[in-house]
Amino acid sequence: MDSKTAIVTGAARGIGLATTQLFLREGWNVAMIDRDAPALETAAAGLEGAQPFLCDVSDPEQVAATVPRIDAAFGGINALINNAGVADFGPIAETDFARWRRVMETNLDGVFLMSQTTLPQLRARKGAIVNIASISGLRASTLRVAYGTSKAGVIQLTKQQAAELGEFGVRANCICPGPVRTKLAMAVHSQEIIDAYHDAIPLNRYGSETEIAEVIVFLCSDRASYVTGQVIAVDGGFESTGVGLPALRA
Ligand SMILES: NC(=O)c1ccc[n+]([C@@H]2O[C@H](COP(=O)([O-])OP(=O)(O)OC[C@H]3O[C@@H](n4cnc5c(N)ncnc54)[C@H](O)[C@@H]3O)[C@@H](O)[C@H]2O)c1
């Protein structure tokens, strides 16, 4: 049987790169999308079965040009992982419209554009969409007016996709990662924030990129063939708990 093909956006590093590597280990081909050309080139070098595609997912013209190139290169698309994201945290008063748009255009517009553009290919293969939101889309926190709102939008967008695309055999699910030590997270997490997360997370630690990738790849596999419209927090239990966990532990 021919290999399946996944598109992974934001594949040059972090969760996207770990997801690419896991798909390859499971025998898939991967179209690696990123807008950071040098990082993408370095990441894709030596990854057999993967091809890099330089594309900004927030740009409708680039998306429209890239998806047919991927389709031609691999002869079909079985899964789309909308992972590209930006974290730009700030208070409401300091979130000017340009900052708001910068977050929305990648985190929310990008998911919409990539999903809509790959739909004919996904329908043809009865494929799967996995959107990467965040625990910040499930719970409000300070400084996340744009980021948290964009991720809550991704959660709802996933449910809209599942509702409408199920009849074509296309599944759509959403993953909400807890904190993972990637470049994105470390740019906004001080040691104090890291300690506070450890306190609030029942498993008492950050997740790894591979732990997020495992759930993404599962959701794209035939083992998840009856799973759609779901929002899965891969967060060490963070979302399930309330106040007082450190005190109760002690
Ligand atoms: N790391 C965490 O703690 C964490 C927690 C919750 C959710 N997430 C989400 O997981 C996803 C991956 O995060 P990460 O931590 O691996 O980030 P990262 O910054 O390490 O990697 C993100 C990649 O996306 C690319 N990218 C950004 N905007 C893009 C665009 N418009 N077009 C194409 N590529 C673009 C970047 O160049 C980068 O290579 C993001 O959606 C993020 O919001 C991360």
Q: Give the pLDDT confidence of 124-134 residue by residue, as tens digits.
A: 999 999 999 99
Q: What pLDDT does residue 2 have? A: 66
Is pLDDT above 90 for 188?
Answer: no
- Distance from residue 14's CA to the centre of ligand 1 (Å): 7
Model confidence at 187, pLDDT cuts 50, 70, 90, reads confident
- For residue 35, the one-letter residue type is R
- Distance from residue 85's CA to the centre of ligand 1 (Å): 4
Q: What pLDDT does residue 1 have? A: 47
Which two structure tokens, joined as six digits, stand for 250? 């002690």
Mean pLDDT of 90-97: 97
Number of the ligand 1 atom closest to the C-alpha atom of 36: 37
Q: Give the pLDDT confidence of 17-75 residue by residue, as tens digits.
A: 999 999 999 999 999 999 999 999 999 999 999 999 999 999 999 999 999 999 999 99
Is residue 147 annotated as part of the catalytic site, yes or no?
A: yes
Model confidence at 199, pLDDT cuts 50, 70, 90, reads very high
How far is 150 from 134, CA to CA, in rounded Å?
Answer: 10
How far is 24 from 21, CA to CA, in rounded Å?
Answer: 5
Strand, helix or coil for residue 143:
coil
Protein residue with its CA nearest to atom 29 in ligand 1: 84
Ligand 1, pocket residues at CB < 6 Å = 9-10, 12-16, 33-36, 39, 56-58, 83-87, 106, 110, 132, 134, 177, 179-180, 182-185
With a pLDDT cut of 70, the percent of the chain lying above it is: 99
- Distance from residue 209's CA to the centre of ligand 1 (Å): 11
Kindly report whether the global pTM for this prediction surpasses the value 0.85.
yes
Cβ atoms within 10 Å, residue 45: 9
The CATH number fitting domain 5-235, selected from 3.30.70.1450, 3.40.50.2300, 3.40.50.720, 2.115.10.20? 3.40.50.720
With a pLDDT cut of 90, the percent of the chain lying above it is: 92
How far is 249 from 167, CA to CA, in rounded Å?
Answer: 47
- Distance from residue 227's CA to the centre of ligand 1 (Å): 25
96 Ramachandran zone, left/alpha/beta (phi>0; psi -120 to 50): beta
What residue segments make up the domains of the chain, in order of their start? 5-235
Mean pLDDT of 201-209: 96
Protein residue with its CA nearest to atom 43 in ligand 1: 85
Strand, helix or coil for residue 129:
strand
* Mutation choice for ligand 1 from 9, 15, 42, 144, CB with most ligand atoms inside 8 A: 15
